[in-house]
């Protein structure tokens, strides 16, 4: 009966807002960077749930810094998630909607309803789309389906004549020849991935610099072990998969939901963006960008941002908490970082050294955050300084959004490629031509 009452309340609320938690506290003075301020946890019956409603772009475009131009290079897609720049400059787009784990609590039903109001109504494509700019002028005159019949594809990688796709249940590969516009046949399965329930279904992926391994991010099956620790077997971690054999092993653990992976140029270091836990306040816990250390434990579920214990988890594990390491850089709580890519000199001096991060946007704060692409400056191979807004204008007046950034890729020729899964658009941002 209570679930019915709560659902009815949710449906009656305007602007997709359910303000049932205590009044939100002011944001911490420093919610990002290497040493973020962490407020005391807040717990209530339900967290604040506010999600902006979809709106149309019309004749408008997202906002980019002075000296840069933005254009839509592909439209009419079916939930674009991640992109991959192929050796010849073609762009592959993974399109898929993903599964949804059964709700366990009334609050899960309400959260699902609230989140659905901020999503595209387009069904997922379960496909790869190829984009081609044959003359290099920034206009992609070809938009064609490369492969269909996939299972919620998300992560993409290219290694020595093969395209690898991380479906929600398996890593598969297609043989690929330079310039190919359509897969020559069905893919080969390299490795099965955990897919029971799939509370977090996205499977991020990148390849090691030498092409021997794939790294695959596998999110948890809950916010904070509500389904029991047994449901978390082989989850909340990054796998290392041998490309030759398909054998896998945990590379790093305790990462609640690693949503995008990339390799840092020059160092070969694996980096990730990770979505942290909910329901302990609007300013906890920061989503983060971090280097991924082999064999390291990052805290989930027992602790966050190093060794800050989450008392909701029963039983606790003090030894695991003692071993937990803190991430490198906080992005802010609930920004929902879903994309990461290192930049290069072709993006101009102000964005040459650092990483772009796609922030899909919050659903469980009274004041929405994210809904933009930011740049995290690096110095001597480490993040340093405040994040810089690069692509904005998605969020309007706090209650409408015209797009939601997901994956980001950097074209070596000098362009940032952004997948937007609300307007079903691929955006290209590049230094403006004189």
Name 102's Cβ contacts closer than 8 Å, sequence gap at least 6. Answer: 197
What pTM, to 2 d.p., does this model score?
0.93
What pLDDT sits at residue 7? 33
Name 126's Cβ contacts closer than 8 Å, sequence gap at least 6. Answer: 95, 96, 97, 148, 149, 150, 151, 152, 153
What pLDDT sits at residue 434? 67
What pLDDT sits at residue 18? 40
Q: How confident is the model over 141-147, as a mean pLDDT?
A: 98
In this predicted structure, the answer to whether residue 3 has a pLDDT above a threshold of 50 is no
All domains of the chain in start order, with CATH: 2-21+40-431 (2.120.10.30)
Token pair for 198: 């799939």
pLDDT digits (tens, 9 = 90+) for 20-59: 333 333 445 579 999 999 999 998 777 778 899 999 999 9
DSSP state of 318: H
Q: Where are the beta strands (DSSP E) in 298-424?
A: 303-304, 308-309, 329-333, 337-342, 354-359, 372-379, 382-383, 388-391, 395-396, 400-401, 405-411, 415-420
pLDDT digits (tens, 9 = 90+) for 417-432: 999 999 999 999 999 9
Name 367's Cβ contacts closer than 8 Å, sequence gap at least 6. Answer: 24, 50, 282, 398
Alpha carbon 402 to chain centroid distance? 18
Q: Where are the beta strands (DSSP E) in 11-101?
A: 17-18, 49-50, 53-54, 68-74, 80-85, 91-95
What pLDDT sits at residue 297? 99
> Which comes out higher in pLDDT, residue 326 or 20?
326
**Backbone region of residue 250 per phi and psi (left: phi > 0; alpha: psi in -120 to 50; beta: other values):** beta
> Which comes out higher in pLDDT, residue 434 or 307?
307
Distance CA 270, CA 264 (A): 6
Residue 110 DSSP SS3: helix
Q: How confident is the model over 181-204, as a mean pLDDT?
A: 97
Cis peptide before 291 (omega within 30 of 0): no
Burial readout 209-238 (b: 16 or more C-beta within 10 A, e: otherwise): eeeebbbbbbbbbbbbbebeeebbeebbbb
In this predicted structure, the answer to whether residue 5 has a pLDDT above a threshold of 60 is no
Alpha carbon 209 to chain centroid distance? 22
Task: Provide the mean pLDDT of the chain.
Answer: 92
What pLDDT sits at residue 2? 31
**Which is it for the CA torsion 108, 109, 114, 119, positive or negative?**
positive
pLDDT digits (tens, 9 = 90+) for 261-300: 999 999 999 999 999 999 999 999 999 999 999 999 999 9
What pLDDT sits at residue 28? 52
Name 224's Cβ contacts closer than 8 Å, sequence gap at least 6. Answer: 277, 279, 301, 310, 312, 313
């Amino acid at each position: 009966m209570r679930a019915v009452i709560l659902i009815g309340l949710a449906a009656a609320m305007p602007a997709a807002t359910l303000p049932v938690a205590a009044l939100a506290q002011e944001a911490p003075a420093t919610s990002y960077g290497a040493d973020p301020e962490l407020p005391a946890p807040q717990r209530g019956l339900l967290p604040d749930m506010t999600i902006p409603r979809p709106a149309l772009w019309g004749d408008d475009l997202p906002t980019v810094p002075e000296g840069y131009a933005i254009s839509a290079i592909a439209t009419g897609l079916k939930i674009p998630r991640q992109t991959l720049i192929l050796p010849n400059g073609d762009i592959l787009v993974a399109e898929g909607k993903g599964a949804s784990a059964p709700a366990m609590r009334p609050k899960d039903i309400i959260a699902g309803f609230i989140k659905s109001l901020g999503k595209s109504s387009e069904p997922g494509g379960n496909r790869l789309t190829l984009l081609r700019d044959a003359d290099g002028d920034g206009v992609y005159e070809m938009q064609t389906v490369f492969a269909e019949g996939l299972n919620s594809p998300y992560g993409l990688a290219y290694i020595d004549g093969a395209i690898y796709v991380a479906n929600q249940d398996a890593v598969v590969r297609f043989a690929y020849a330079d310039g190919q516009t359509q897969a020559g046949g069905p893919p080969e399965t390299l490795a099965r991935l955990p897919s029971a329930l799939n509370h977090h279904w996205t499977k991020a992926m990148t390849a090691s610099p030498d092409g021997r391994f794939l790294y695959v991010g596998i999110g948890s099956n809950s916010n904070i072990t509500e389904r029991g620790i047994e449901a978390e077997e082989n989850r909340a971690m990054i796998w290392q998969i041998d490309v030759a054999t398909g054998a896998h092993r945990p590379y790093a653990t305790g990462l609640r939901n690693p949503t995008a992976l990339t390799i840092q140029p020059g160092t070969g270091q694996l980096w990730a963006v990770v979505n942290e836990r909910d329901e302990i306040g609007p300013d906890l816990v920061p989503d983060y960008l971090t280097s991924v250390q082999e064999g390291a434990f990052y805290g989930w579920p027992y602790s966050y941002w190093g060794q800050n214990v989450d008392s909701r988890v029963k039983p606790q594990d003090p030894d695991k908490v003692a071993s937990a390491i803190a991430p490198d850089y906080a992005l802010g709580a609930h920004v929902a970082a879903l994309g990461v890519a290192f930049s290069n000199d072709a993006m101009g001096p102000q964005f040459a050294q650092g990483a772009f991060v796609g922030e899909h946007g919050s659903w469980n704060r009274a004041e929405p955050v994210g809904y933009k692409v930011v740049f995290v400056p690096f110095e001597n191979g480490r993040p340093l300084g405040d994040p810089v807004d690069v692509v904005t204008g998605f969020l309007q007046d706090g209650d409408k959004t015209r797009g939601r950034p997901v994956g980001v890729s950097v074209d070596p020729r000098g362009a940032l490629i952004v997948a937007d899964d609300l307007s079903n658009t691929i955006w290209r941002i590049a230094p403006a031509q004189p």
